[in-house]
Amino acid sequence: MTYKNGKKDMFKAEQAILAEAQRRLTSEDQEIDWRDAYAALCDHFSLLLRDAMKITSAGDLSYHRLIKAKEEIERLNRDNYNLAIFDALTGVHNRHYLLDQFGKEYAKAQRYKSPLALVLMDLDHFKQINDAFGHQVGDEVLRTVSARVRDHVRQQDTFGRYGGEEFLLILPGIDRDDASLVAEKIRKIVDSETVEVGELDITVTVSMGLAQYTPAYDTNQDIFLSRADNAMYMAKSRGRNQIVMDELAP
pLDDT tens digits, 193-244: 999 999 999 999 999 999 999 998 889 999 999 999 999 999 999 999 999 9
Calculate the CA dihedral of residues 66, 70, 71, 75 and round it to 10 degrees: 150
- Residue 183's region, left for phi above 0, alpha for psi from -120 to 50, else beta, is alpha
* Spatial distance between the Cα atoms of 127 and 243, rounded to a whole number of angstroms: 20
Residue 16 confidence (pLDDT) = 66
> Can you give the pLDDT at residue 205?
98
- DSSP strand pairing (116-123 vs 243-245): unpaired
Of 20, 31, 71, 165, the active-site residue reads 165
77 and 112 share one domain: no
Same domain, 56 and 104: no
Name the pairing type of β-strands 243-245 and 206-212.
Answer: parallel
Q: How many whole angstroms separate alpha carbon 127 and alpha carbon 138?
A: 8
**Residue 165 falls in the annotated catalytic set:** yes
Verify that 101 and 45 share a domain, yes or no.
no
Mean pLDDT of the residues in the chain: 85
CATH number, residue 181:
3.30.70.270
Query: What total number of domains does the chain contain?
Result: 2
Q: Do the bridges between strand 200-202 and strand 243-245 make them parallel or antiparallel, or are there none, so unpaired?
A: unpaired
How far apart CA 146 and CA 39 sit, in angstroms, is 79
